[in-house]
Structure 1
Amino acid sequence: MQKTDIRGLYLITDGSRGEALCQRVEAALRGGVRVLQYRAKDLPEQEMYAEACQLRALCRSAGALFLINDSPELALACDADGVHLGQQDRPVAAARALLGPGKIIGTSNRTVAQAQASEAAGADYLAVGSMYPTATKGDAVHVGLDTLRAVREAVALPLVAIGGLDRDRTGEVLAAGADAVAVISAVLADPSPALAAAEIALQFNVRQPWPRGRVLTVAGSDSGGGAGIQADLKTVTLLGSYGMSVITALTAQNTCGVRAIHGVPADFVAQQLDAVLEDLAPEVVKTGMLHNAEMVRLVARRLAACGRLLVVDPVMVAKGGAALLQRDAVQACREELLPHCYLLTPNLPEAEILTGLPVRNEEDMARAALRLQEMGVRHVLMKGGHLEGEAVDLLRDGRGWQRFPAARISGRNTHGTGCTFSAAIAALLAQGRPLPAAVATAKQFITTAIERAVDLGAGHGPVNHFAAARQLGRMLQHPPG
C-alpha cells in the first residue's frame, strides 16, 4: 500500500496486551480494518517490540498499513509502515530524518492552523479530532464536524477523523470530508471485532461507483421466479449492487405452490461457496432456503471465518405451506448458524420455531428478539407481516429498538416478500448504509413492491421488484432502477 492509502477504517490499539490483543486485531482486520496504529505506552521496550512485530505480520497478511504511535525508533526497528505523532511529540522533520522518505508520517491536529503547519512540514496524513466526546481519552478536546470541514477545505492530505466515532457517526464524518475513520473501543471492546469492523468499513462504499457493493445470496432456486435466488438477484441488481449466487436446492414451483424439491449435494454447494469467496470477495452474504441440517452446518462453517456481514432469512415454509427446511435443520440453525449471524430476519412463525416462544403481538416480538440475541444473533429484525392491523417490523440492533410500521396492503401477490426484503437490506448494507438506514429504506422498497404488484399466475403472485426500484431510485436520486 502507498502513502495515499490512508483511507477506510483506521484502528488504534487500546492498551490491552498479548494474545487477546492479537486475536482481536486479527478479527478486526478480517472485518475490513485498513490501517492499524499500535499504541502501548506502558509496556517494557522488548515486549513492545515483540508485540509490534506480531501485529505488523498480521497487517502484512491482511494487506493493511501498520503504524506506530509516537516512536519513530520503534517504527524503524520493527519495519512498520510509519509513525503517528501528537502535537507534543518530536517534529515531523526529525521523524523524517530518522525514517527516510519511504515511511508514512501522520500528525494529530485540532485546528486548521495546526493542519496547515503539519502539511507544510511534510506530513503524509492528518488526524483531526476529537470529533465527539470520548471516554477513551479523557483530555481530548472536542472539535466537531465544522473543524473537519474547514481542515478539508484548507489542506490536500488524507484526513483521519478521530474521537467518539462508531457505526452511527461514520456517515457524518465521511460527508464532512474524512478519508478514514479512527476507532478504538467501537471495535476492540466489541464481543465480535470482525462484525464491528465490517459494519463501519462497509460505509466507505458510499464513494464507490455503481454497481456499489457485492452481495452473495445462498438460497434455493424458485422456478416461478418470485422468490429465492431469482428474487434475491433481481433485488440486488435493481438496487445497484453486484449479485452472486450459491444454489442450495432446486424447486419445481409456480404461484400455486411447490411441487417438488431437489437438494443440491453438499459437496457441490461447498464448491460453489469456495469459488465465489476465493475470487469475487462478497461483502455481505444473505442466506435463504438451506433445506437440511447438513447444508446449514456447511454454510455456517464456511462463512464463520470470512468476516462478512451475514444476513439470515430463516426460510422454513413456502406460501402454500410446503416445508422448505427439514426438522433436523432447525436445531442446526440454532446452534451453528445463529451465533455467526449479523442480522436475522424472521417472520412471526419462524421466530416461534426458533425460540419456542409464542409470538402474537409486538410485546411477543420484542421478547423473541431478545431471546434470539441470547442465542448469539447480533441484530434481529422481527417482521410483523402476520400481525393483525399494521405491518410493523421491530429492529433490535444492540443499541435499542426501532419500529418500522406500514399500512397493511390487501392482495394475493406477496410471494417472495421475505426474500426480497432481506436481499434489499443486504444490498443497502453493501452499498454503505448503516443498519437502521438500510432497514428503513428496504422497508420502503418492499412496501412499494407489494403495492405495485401485478397479477401473474393463479395463486400467490410475485411482488413488483422493478416498480419498487424505480420509485426508490427517484426518491434517493441515484442511477439504479
Structure 2
Amino acid sequence: MPSGLYLITDDNSDGSLFKRVESALKGGVRTVQYRAKEATADERFGMAQKLRKACHAAGAKLIINDFPELAKEIDADGVHLGQDDMSVSQARQMLGRDKIIGVSTHSVDQALKAESHGADYIALGSIFPTSSKDAPELVGIDALRKVRRAIRVPLVAIGGIDITGADLAIDAGADAVAVISSVMQDRSPGIAAREISLLFNRKLGRPRGRVLTIAGSDCGGGAGIQADLKTISLLGSYGSCVITALTAQNTLGVKGVFPIDSNFVTEQLNAVLDDIGTDTIKTGMLSWGGTVTRVAQAIRRHCLLAVVDPVMIAKGGAPLLDKEALDSLLSQMLPQAYLLTPNLPEAEKITGTKVRNLAEMEEAGRLLQDLGARNVLMKGGHLINDDAVDLLLIGDAKHELRSPRIETKNTHGTGCTYSSAIATFLAQGLPLLKAVEEAKKFIDLSIITAVESGKGHGSVNHVEAAFRYFHEHRS
C-alpha cells in the first residue's frame, strides 16, 4: 500500500520524464503514479513499461492513472481512479485481487464511500492551492485530519504539496504525500525527493535515522569524528563514520596531520553505503583533493542530503585543506552540498569577498549558491555584535537565527557539532529550517555548559547539552 513519497508524473514535452523519475526514485520515492492523458496509446504503453521496470528495480510501486486497461496490459502494481471513472469493483474484476486500487476523493463522505467499496487507499485533495488547471477545489489540512480519523486504509495527501506542506500533511496523519512539480520540476529531482521522503523518518523508533560523518579524527575528542559521533548518538540517531585523516591535536592546537589515502576512504564509503546505508551525510575535514572528489562522487551516486562543513583552518590556525582540495571543494563538492555551513573566514576564503555584516553575509551566501550549494548557512560567530547571528539561505528565502553571544574560550568543536546536529535532525525527519533551529538550540547549550579541559580552547559539552535539550528546549 502507498506510504512515504508518492510521485505523480507530469508531461513529457521535453522528453526528460523517464530521466527525472529515475532520479526521484534514487531519492526515495516509494510509489509512482503514471499520468499521461495527452500521450498516444503507443507512447503510454512504451513509457509505462520503462517506468514499471525502473520502479521495481528501486523497490517502488507503479500505479497507472485512469487507464486500468493499460495497468493490466503491462502488469502494473495498480490503478488510480477518479470520481468519474469506473467503479472499484469493476477495476478489481479487470485487474485481479492482488492489485492496488486507489481513489481520488475531496470529502469525508467520498472517502468513506470509496473505502466501503473496497479501495486499497484514499487520495484526498487538493490540500493546498495548486496551479494545475485540473486541480479539484481546495479542501485544506483540517479535512485531511477528519478523513484520517474516519478511514482505516492508507491516506495520501495530494495537491500543492512542497516540503512545508508535506511536513504539515504528515503531522496531520497522511501515510503518503503526493507531489508533482516540487520534485519533477526541480533542478535535482533526486535531492528534492530525498528531502521530502526523509520527513517520514519522524515515525521511526530510536535510533531514528542514520547519519554518516566523513571527517578527520581528533585524538583530543573535542572535534572531528569524535564530536560528530557524540552528537549523533546523544541526539538519538545511528552514526557511522569514514575517517579522512588522523590528527595529533589537543586544546592548544594541531600538532600533526596524517591524511588517509583516498582509495581507502572509498573502501570505507563503500563498506557503509553498500550495507548499512545512511539517510544524511555530514562532511568535515577532507584533507586533500582526491578525497574531496571521491566523497562528492559518492554523494551524487547515492543521491544523499549532504551537510558540508568546509573545514579549512583549525581553531589554533593550522591549515587543514591544501590548494588542490580547495579547488576540488569548489568544483566537485559545492554542487553536491544540500547545505553548506561556512563560518565567515571560510566564506571569505571561498568567495574572495570580505564578510563583516549581515548584508555581506547574504551577499557571500548567494555567491556560494551560485557556485552550486543548494542551501547555505552562514555562521556569524565572527561578527562583532551583541548577538550571535546565523543567516540561513533556503533557495531564494532567508532566515535570521539569533541567540545571545556567549563569552567563553571553550568553543573547540562548535562547527563540527553544529553541522552534525543539523544532519541528525534532517535524518530524524525535520525539514531544513526546523533542523537548523533545533541544532542552534543544541550548539548554544553545548557552549553555555562547556567546561575547562586542557590548557587552551576547551571542548563544548555534548553530554550536558543533550540532557538540557531534551528536558528543557525540545519544541
TM-score by length of 2: 0.98
Task: Give 1:258 deviation, angstroms.
Answer: 0.6
- Pairwise CA distance, 1:120: 1.0
Q: CA deviation at 1:476?
A: 5.6
Corresponding residue SS for 1:51 = helix
Q: Secondary structure at the match of 1:450?
A: helix
Structure 2 CA distance, aligned partners of 1:472 and 1:109? 42
Q: Is 1:245 matched with 2:254?
A: no
Distance 1:211 1:22, change over 3 A: same
Q: Which amino acid aligns with 2:287?
A: H
Deviation at 1:392, TM superposition (A): 0.6
Deviation at 1:172, TM superposition (A): 1.2
Cα drift, residue 170 of structure 1 = 1.3
Shift of 1:138: 4.5
Q: Secondary structure at the match of 2:215?
A: strand
Gaps of 5+ in 1: none
How far the C-alpha of 1:173 sits from its partner, in A, is 1.0
Residue 235 (structure 1) aligns with: 231
User: Structure 1 residue 460 and structure 2 residue 457: aligned?
Assistant: yes
Residues 106 and 136 in structure 2, CA contact (< 8 A), matched pair in contact too:
no
State the percentage of identical aligned residues: 54
1:398 is matched with: 395
Moved more, 10-19 or 65-74: 10-19
Any conservation in 2 of the 1:133–1:140 contact (CA below 8 Å)? no
Residues 342, 151 of structure 1: alpha-carbon distance in 2 compared, 3 angstrom cutoff: same
Listed one character per residue, the Cα deviations across residues 313-338 of structure 1 (whole Å, up to 9, x for unaligned) are 00000000111111221111000110
Give the partner amino acid of 1:48: R
**Maintained 8 Å contact 1:136/1:185:** no
2:69 corresponds to which residue?
A: 73
- Count of matched residue positions in the alignment of Structure 1 and Structure 2: 474
- Specify the SS of the correspondent of 2:216: strand
Name 1:301's counterpart in structure 2: 297
Q: CA deviation at 1:308?
A: 0.9
SS where residue 190 of structure 1 aligns?
A: coil
Q: Tell me which residue corresponds to 1:82.
A: 78
Match of 1:277 among 273, 293, 301: 273
In structure 2, the residue matched to 1:471 is 468
- 1:424 matched to 2:421? The reply is yes
Counterpart-to-counterpart distance in 2, 1:237 and 1:26: 33
Aligned to 1:451: 448
Q: Does 1:331 align with 2:327?
A: yes
- Asked if the contact 2:128/2:165 (under 8 Å) is kept, the reply is no
Note the 1:295-374 alignment, pairs <5 A.
295-374=291-370
Q: Distance in 2 between matches of 1:448 and 1:139?
A: 46
Give the partner amino acid of 1:58.
Answer: A
Aligned counterpart for 2:212 among listed residues 211, 216, 222: 216
Shift of 1:266: 1.1
Q: 1:163 to 1:475 in 2, by over 3 A?
A: farther
How far residue 358 of structure 1 moved from its aligned partner, in angstroms, is 1.1
- The separation in 2 between residues aligned to 1:76 and 1:333, in whole angstroms, is 49
1:95 corresponds in structure 2 to 91
- Partner of residue 412, structure 2: 415
| Residues 1:181 and 2:177 are matched in the alignment | yes
Inter-partner Cα distance in structure 1 for 2:121 and 2:423: 33
One-letter identity of the residue aligned with 2:268: Q
Conserved 8 A contact 1:18-1:51: no
Once the two structures are superposed, what CA deviation does each residue of 1:12-67 show, in whole Å capped at 9, x if it has no partner? Answer: 00112575111110111111100000000011101110001111111011000100
Separation in 2, partners of 1:227, 1:477: 24
Asked whether the equivalents of residues 149 and 177 of structure 1 are also in contact (C-alpha less than 8 Å), the reply is yes
| Aligned-partner SS, 1:406 | strand
- Offset, 1:139: 4.2
Change (3 A) 1:476 1:40: farther
Report if the CA contact (8 A) 1:212-1:431 is conserved: yes
Deviation of the 1:191 alpha carbon: 0.5
Shift of 1:347: 0.3
On the 8 A contact 1:409/1:451 being kept in 2, the answer is yes
Question: What CA distance in whole angstroms lies between the structure 2 residues aligned with 1:463 and 1:398?
Answer: 31
- 2: CA distance between counterparts of 1:211 and 1:194? 25
RMSD (Å), alpha carbons: 1.1
Corresponding letter in the other structure for 1:471? R
SS of the residue 2:388 aligns to: coil
| Runs of 4+ deviating beyond 3 Å | 475-478
SS state at 1:366 partner: helix
For the 8 Å contact 2:135–2:159, the answer to whether it is kept is no
> Structure 1 residues 442, 281: closer, same or farther in 2, change over 3 A?
same
Report the Cα distance in structure 1 between the residues aligned to 2:208 and 2:44, rounded to whole angstroms. 40
Are 1:166 and 2:197 counterparts? no
Q: 2:34 maps to which residue?
A: 38
Deviations 1:85-138 (A, max 9, x none): 000111111111100101000000111111111111111000011001101245
Whether the 8 Å CA contact 1:31–1:197 is kept in 2: the answer is yes
CA distance in 2, matches of 1:109, 1:65: 21
Residue matched to 1:141: 137
- Contact 1:315/1:325, CA 8 A, preserved across alignment: yes
Q: Deviation of residue 359 (structure 1)?
A: 1.1
The equivalent of 1:63 in structure 2 is 59
The amino acid that maps onto 2:144 is L
Q: Which amino acid aligns with 2:98?
A: G
